[in-house]
A and B are shown apart, each in its own frame.
Chain A
Amino acid sequence: MTLLKLNEINSFYGGIQALKNISLEVNEGEIVTLIGSNGAGKSTTLKTISGQVKPKSGEIYYKNQDLLKLPTHNIALKGIAHVPEGRKIFSKLTVKENLEMGAFSVKDKKIIKERLERVFNYFPRLRERIDQKGGTMSGGEQQMLAIGRALMMGPSLLMLDEPSMGLAPIIVEQIFEIIEQLNSEGMTILLVEQNAYQALQIAHRGYVIQTGEIQMVGEGKTLMNNEEVKKAYLA
């Protein structure tokens, strides 16, 4: 079933067009990855979905509901979690508070506790630093926190913007494992990555995006073997 569907989206920053007629689909239970070079428009695509950027034209449907008119916080309420580029940790809040912010819309204390426990299991480092202010964590620690925070929402669609950026190989490895694990537990994932090799390896499908336009669509493995993709992104 199609969970998310973008139709002919055009987004702008002031006068600059960042997305040109972007159409893409994410099916329930899939890992879909978006790859492309710097400035291609990957982050903008995610921002458009989560409502941070409002497109000039086009349609976005999530579970057959129109997202276009909704403000960001209501889109989040629908179950779309967006881990933004550059982590965007609340630097003056503690690790615990950051995580609790993720569960802002959850009323049930018990569920919050359970999710907290789960996040700590994924990232034990966060448990160690539970009372440290987010802003003083190292880059990698912050990335873990950002993902953890998104998981606290209990989303049905998790959008990750370059989660491996600045992480130690061993953590990257872990993160990809976690992504696969989350996916196997039923979570749908939209992944933006520079690390095209690893992304394509775990993705069911992938989109290649170039200067705001979709260049190619295909299964992960297929794209990985595509000569053009190899030349441009896998080097």
Chain B
Amino acid sequence: GCGNGKDSKDKNKVIEVATQSPLSGGSATLGDSIKLGAQMELENQKADFKKLGFDLKLVPYDDQGDPTKGVSNAEQIAADTSILGVVGHLNSGVAIPSSLKYEKAHIPMVSPANTATEVTDRGLSSVNRICARDDFQGPAGANYAVNTLKAKNIYIIQDKTAYGTGLADAFKDAAAKLGAKIVGYEGITVGEKDFNGVINNIATKKPDLVFFGGLYAEGGLIIKQAADKGLKMPFMGGDGLDSSTLVEIAGDAVKNVYYTSVAADTLKVAGGQEFANQYKKEFNKNIESYSAYGYDSMGVILQGIKNAIKDNNNKMPSREEVEKAVRDIQDFNGVVTKVGFDEKGDNKFAKVYIYHFDETKYPGKQIDEISK
């Protein structure tokens, strides 16, 4: 039968780790990169675990960027007792409800990409993330926009998703506090291609800078269509713009764009190039911003599992044990980030990076790095 993929004989020896990210739908590129990153790290460590006497397996789930689907998958993940950890999600909107199910089943979740504050603010012991939060990223961007780029009048667009709203609000509040004037605050619809309406509104408001809270697909088009209309002011966005596709979509117009990201430029960090090479070799794809974060999230979980195994005299640990072991991680060194969780599950070493495209090429040039 379908559900009987695993051999029941040596069932106790199998350790599974799930990934949940959108593998289909609008943001599947990023979702896929998380899965592949995680998959790569899991493959790398298979041999290690074999030595410990365990078979390591990946169980990728597709949350379709849809909370209902995510919750239902989470329920299934909870049901599969060999699963000891989850790498995911991409979208905070999906992570927030799904994590309630992990919490109940004590499955540790390590998120490579969820920046919304609420993800960890609820104090769930199973929920962790290795990236920075929106209330760090937003103000960092605002600070750069107001103090470095000297923007006085700022126009904010957001895509009306949980992520976009959260980031845009964080940016807005910080920018306002720094003395900038918010001359427009508009929402757009995800999936559409014509944003001339909002752009016309920008044109009449003539801001010094436009901030976009949302993903690259819409962001790229807005940037491009604004450039077509002759708007010259700089654009700024968050980690949602951090994708090679942005450059493809926006073309030359991208040269006017700044973005904050919670992801470091993988190629610039030590060992990053090797990572990218191996990734390319295994999957015949270029890395995305979150590929390495998927990889490191998996690393964190596997580290937690290893620690738990050790504490449990080399026997199969329980989920509760792994959950605790993961939260206890204090100095994990991944490819792109060091990881140490605080009591809420936020990564103490998470940083925000500021990039600027000075050429029509991804990734942009890292111009600043901010740590807490």
A and B touching (C-beta < 8 Å)? no
Binding site for A on B (CB under 8 A): none
Binding site for B on A (CB under 8 A): none
